[in-house]
Every structure is written in structure tokens, then in C-alpha cells.
Structure 1
């Protein structure tokens, strides 16, 4: 039955991909024939197994040579031995939970041409976001946290389109627009005054009251969480330092207001004192954490704040140095952070800071997200811990530990397949061979 299985796999994969593009709401019952299964990053791969998927969720996982498996085979075939369920042959693959990237920008591609913000209509960013959603899913990332979109409602609508099967892509959790100080990282700058004003997104603030109001506005716009630029940034067109932008009172007002609305806060933060201040205010995650030191780490541990190091972002921007890709002011900042970026994970681990997976995709090309595993391992993490950071740990950060990050009955059917064993070598995740998101095969 090997040839039949191969043909069936090809047809099912194509049909499911077309169904995702067409937005077909119906789910077929599916039997996945897996060579081995990693149900959780804490566990070793199993032997050959069947995964049963119904209505977009995992129904059961059984050993392929068990009585339960034979029962499912009987249910999945007719009297002539033909498959009446969707049958997917991954008998030579390792099957595991879909990966989670906690820091992406789906509506953007790498560019040093900051002026394009003044010449590109929002409709184009929507198309870019749809393109990148598909690329990201094909790379094995079945859930992403998008931290800052180019225009209003782009990622909110992408969130809906991927959920409904209208566009192929991962589950999208989005902060929508970023909240920043006036004139800081995240605010529009680099243009003449009237162009800056025209491009203003309405999410800058000064003082605790105004900053709290922007959190409420983000909630009104459909944000799943709040993203703030707690410190200066590398790619914005201002040459000031990378320390704290918001005052302590402003950040506390943001966090308290977000909590009152059931929202968590992710804080872009490079400078050590800015990291420390954001952690003291109670932010849920620190993004980048470039200059993390003992005091900053201590504040993070005391508040339960997790680091999302985005090592691929530093790798990506470094590769464009000296090519005229960035303006001189940005290039100078890149050269400074490049001196310390390679030791972010090492410093965080030395201080016992919890680390979760996030890449800042959009600063580098989408689809290369899994390159983060190699860099995390270089920073001293084991392959098992790196995989956990992109599955169970990331799911916990999202408050979705009961839905994603593991392969268990009742969980969303977010499943990928690779060659090799990512528990012992997470770099095999750079080549993902098959992807299912919410029970839909991506092409």
C-alpha cells in the first residue's frame, strides 16, 4: 500500500492547501501516519504512531501497532480498503507541535528606506502581510505574536482571515499598533514636520493619563496585547541612546491599564536601565534585552518577566552593514549593538532569566525564523530547551498552554513534520517538510 499512501499524501496535501486558500470551512477526519511523535519538548520521540484529527483538533494519538490503531484503520477505510478519511503519510518523519514565534512583523519586509512609509498605501501592507503569513506557516510556525503593524487593522484582519481559512497562515496574536513616546522609537520621525504629522498613527503619549488612554484605544482597536517601546531603538531615524523612553509612572499606568482590560504588555527594550524599569513596572516580556545586566535580570526575575531575545534580528541587520542599506545614523547604532548581541542569551541564562522564542521577523526575511534555534544554542541553550522556548514556554506566554505547544487530545491540530530529532538537534527545524494549522494542511 506504499504507492497508494504516497499518492494519497500528495493529493490530500494539495487539496487541503487549496481548501485553505478557498476558505472551505469543513474539516475532514484525518489520520496522520507518523514515524515518530514528540508530544512535548520534555519528552523523547515515540515510536510509529497514528494521530487522529477531527474538527481542527487532535482527537487521539495511539501507537501504530496497537488495537486502537487497527480500530482507526477500520473506521478510516471502506470495505474495499480505500481511505474514506484523509490519510497523510509521514511514516518517515518526526512529527511535533507547531512552532510559536513571539515577535514578528508580518506587514513588513526588510528595508532601510524609511521614507517608504510616506509613499506606500495601507492596501499594499495588507498584501505583504498575507504573503508573509503563508511563508511563515510553511516554515513551521503555526502561531505568531505580531508586535507592531504598519497600518491600522492589517493584522487584526489577517488574524481573522487565517482563523477562518480565507488565507493560509499561522494563528495570529497581535498588538496591532505600538505605543511610544512622542519623538521616540515607534513614533514617526525622519520627515519634515507636516509629513510626520500626517503619518502619525495616534498611539504616542506623554504622561500617565494619556498613556493609559492609548492602552484603552488599542483595546478598542482589537489588540490582543499591548506593545510599547520602553527604550530607544536601533532602526528608527534618531541617534539618541537606547535607554528608557517612558517615565516610571507612564509605564506603570500602561501596565495597570492593560491588566484592567485583561491584556499583557510586551516591551521593546535595549538599555539595561530601561529593561529594569520596564520589569519593575510589571511588563510580561522584554523584547531584545540587548544590554541586560545583573540588576536588570534581577528585576525581571522578581516580576516574573520573560526575555524574548530576537537574535535573528541582530544577525539580519548585521549582514547589511557597509552596503548603504541603512542611513548613517542607523548604521552607527547597529555597529554598537552588534558588539554585545551575541551574548544576550548567555548573560540572561547566567542570571536565571526565563527565555522564550521570538525573532523580529520582518527586520530579516520572513521564513527564516528557525535560524533563531542555531543562535540560541550558540548562546548556551540545549536543543531541548530551545524547542521548549518555541512550544511550551511560548504557549504559556500567550496564555494558551491548554490549546497549543503540545500534541495532546483536545489541543489545536497545529502540527509539523521534519527529518531527524529536534530534541537532540533543534537546527533540523530550519527545514520543515509538512505543516498543519488548526487542522488545515498548508499546501
Structure 2
């Protein structure tokens, strides 16, 4: 894998537009420094060594040697944050591909998907559930500017119960043994050990499958899988090591148990009922709805892509899309943007923004905040990204129109900068 990755690095280095070093001066027509606040008028943003050095009123002439970027006809705003994307894979493949595709191929797909996602305006991406080496390779590649793409946070393999969502299933026993991701645990002590192992590998956060899942071959339902004690052990250990916990959870009792265990976010939350939402509200748990995932599976339903047990689970979910997220929003639970890209085509991530307006009942400004400020806080990066201010990473995008009035303005992003590097 390492030799192939080195070759890919050489091939893609030339496509990264600019290095961190040096000064870039951006002339903006309007600037949204923080979602939910009024936009500033004509402004100059100075970027130096990958960070925002200043934001000044009017168009200030660049100093000698600085690069000028003219965005005087655009609104400049913080780069968007995608908190749930599976960069190492594409939708529509047969589950048996897991026994055929290599780690190197996941890196190839990841490099392409990172660039596609960044060009869509997403400058930070959290990847919950990806091969350990793949996630770390992609994270390093963008951090060092070797390939174009967003900032990456990776969990490595998600933690699962034996035979549950996230564990390999659907194959002969001897094949299962070869494909085993060593990511399952039973009992509080073993689950704590798995978290410590992830920390040793350098994972940024922990993902657990608190309930069954839609697209796995197991047919054990969509509610609670890990026990309450196991989830508490995972969360306590992760938090003690400075990592947050994202819980894949569909069924109400699994959502409730995960929230009471202290997870930081519920991913999907499809069937959250009153008790589940109350637990989330009482424990300050964020809700990542991943509504585009349901679009992806709806588009492929009945085409032969999914096995019968998977299709049965899909049909369970499609009649309630967005309902739990709407109730959560009405109750003041923080909605954080995340799509489950990879279940649908990468690059379509922004389609979920409009779904938050139409299905969840959020205003465009609230939606923009969910994909910037609130997402940054969930990731523990609120002093680094999510706003435009001196000292923050120069992660910014430019669009025509006003996304705080019309969220559709984010469908067409004309300029992207990540860590001070322009993404062509």
C-alpha cells in the first residue's frame, strides 16, 4: 500500500493550487464571518501562512508579492463542515466486493472523493467508519497539501457488536475470519480496550454502531445492539482520552441508551421517539440526520443492488425521513450537518442543506450554522474552523447570492480554500 500511495502522491501533488506559505489577499463583495450574523459589505481578507491574518473594510491593495484573488462579485463565508462522509467508497456496489477490493483501491477512491467533496464547498470532513490505514493516509495527504481535499478527521473502523452492523457478515466462516476488522467487542472491559487501541492508532474520534444498520447484511433489527454498560465504557474511555463519540443509531431505545451513556452525537436517529429525544436534550447530544442517505437508498431500491433483508430495512425507514429531526429541532436539540455521503454520490452533499429547510423546518441561517459553527463545536474545532476571524484556519468558500436568505446559493460554489490552499 505504501508504495502505491507514494506514487499517487506524486501524481496528485501538481493539482494542489498553492502552498501554505506566502500571503493571499481576497477582495470580497460581502463576507459572512459567522452564520446567523449580518454580512459585512465590501471587505479584504488577508491570508498568511494558511491562516486569516485580518479582515478589513473596503478593498485594500495587496502588498508586494501577495497573490490577489478577486471575489468582489461574491459572498465569502466559512467553509462548510461535513460530519458524516464515507470517503473510501462509492454507492451501489455489491456487498461481496468487500472480499475483493483492496485497501489501495479505497485510497484511490478516497483521493478522488476528497477532491470532489472539497470542490462542493466542504473544507472539513469527519469520516466515521473507514479502514484504519485508509483514513489516516487521506488525513495526512490533505494536511500536508500532497493532494487537494478537505481537513480530515477519521475514526478508523467503527466499533460493533459481534454479528452486528459494522461487523463483517454475509460470507462463509473462513472468509469472515480473513475479513475481520478486529473492531468488535463484548463487555465493558473489552470495549474500553478497543477505544484505547483506536487512540493508540491515532484515531481522531470513536464511532460506534449503537443499533442495527440498514445496509449491512445482518437482519437483527434496527434497535439497540450494545448494552448500556458497554456504551458507557466506550464513552467514558473515549472522553478520558480526548476523543468524542459518534453513535450510529436508528431505533429509539438504542438512541436513548446512547444519549444517556453520553455520546456526543446521534447519527441518523431515524426512529427517535419522545423518550429518545428527551435523553438527547438532557445530555446535550447533537443530532446528525444524514437525510441524503435516504435519497441514496431510495434511488437504488428495487434495482437489484440490495439483498432482500436490506430492502426490508430500507422500506422501514423511508416513510419517516426527516420526522425525528424536525421534532428534535422543535425541542431545541442541536442539528449538525452530516449526510452519509458514499451511500449516495460524493459531491451531492449540499443537497441535504435544502432538506433541512424543507423537512426539518430550519431557516437558511440555522442551516448554515449547522454546517459551520455547530459542526465545528461538535468536532472540538471551534477555535480553528467554522468562522472567519484572525487566527482561524483559512478555510473559506465563495458563492453568488446570500445563503442566509436562500440556502440554494450553496449549490454552486465558485471558490474554495482549505488551510490557505486554493482548491482548483
TM-score norm. by structure 1 comes to 0.91
Number of the residue aligned with 2:211 = 231
What's the counterpart of residue 63 of structure 2? 76
SS of residue paired to 1:319: helix
Larger radius of gyration: 1
Is this contact kept in 1: 2:85–2:125, CA < 8 A? yes
1:53 match: 47
- In structure 2, what is the Cα distance between the partners aligned to 1:183 and 1:86? 55
- Aligned pairs for 1:17-166 (under 5 A) are 21=15, 25-64=19-58, 69=60, 73=61, 76-77=63-64, 84-149=65-130, 151-166=131-146
| Alpha-carbon offset, residue 262 of structure 1 | 1.2
Change (3 A) 1:122 1:246: same
Aligned match of 1:399: 380
- Where does the alignment leave 5 or more consecutive residues of structure 1 unmatched? 1-17, 78-83
Match of residue 421 from structure 2: 440
Which residue number corresponds to residue 182 of structure 2?
A: 202
Match of residue 5 from structure 2: none
Q: Which residue of 1 aligns with 2:239?
A: 259
Question: Partners in 2 of 1:23 and 1:191 — Cα distance?
Answer: 44
Gap change, CA 1:63 and 1:277, over 3 Å in 2: same
**Deviation string for 1:397-442 (max 9, x for gaps)?**
0111111001101100001000110001112111111100000000
2:56 alignment partner, SS class: strand
Is the contact between residue 104 and residue 359 of structure 1 (CA under 8 Å) also seen in structure 2?
A: yes
Asked whether the equivalents of residues 16 and 423 of structure 2 are also in contact (C-alpha less than 8 Å), the reply is no
Q: What's the CA shift for 1:349?
A: 1.7
The answer to whether the Cα contact below 8 Å between 1:130 and 1:167 also exists between their aligned partners in 2 is yes
Query: d(CA) in 2 for partners of 1:382 and 1:138?
Result: 24
Change (3 A) 1:100 1:306: same
Provide the C-alpha distance between the structure 2 equivalents of 1:22 and 1:171, rounded to a whole number of angstroms. Answer: 14
- Alpha-carbon displacement from aligned partner over 1:57-92 (angstroms, at most 9, x marks no partner): 001111115xxx2xxx1x524xxxxxx311111111
Count the aligned residue pairs. Answer: 412
Give CA deviations for 1:358-401 in whole Å, capped at 9, x if unaligned.
Answer: 01111111111111111100120100000000000001001111
Runs of 4 or more above 3 Å deviation: 18-26
Task: Give the structure 1 partner of residue 254 of structure 2.
Answer: 274
Please report the RMSD computed on the Cα atoms of aligned residues, expressed in angstroms.
Answer: 1.4
Point out where structure 2 has 5 or more consecutive residues left out of the alignment: 1-11
The whole-number CA distance in structure 2 between the counterparts of 1:306 and 1:32 is 34
Q: Which of 322, 338, 341 matches 1:342?
A: 322
Please say which of residues 255-264 and 184-193 is displaced more in the overlay: 255-264
* Deviation readout 1:91-121 (Å, 9 max, x if unpaired): 1111100000111111011024000000011
* CA 19–53 in structure 1, closer or farther in 2 if over 3 Å, else same: farther
- Kept in 2: contact 1:109–1:363 (CA 8 A): yes
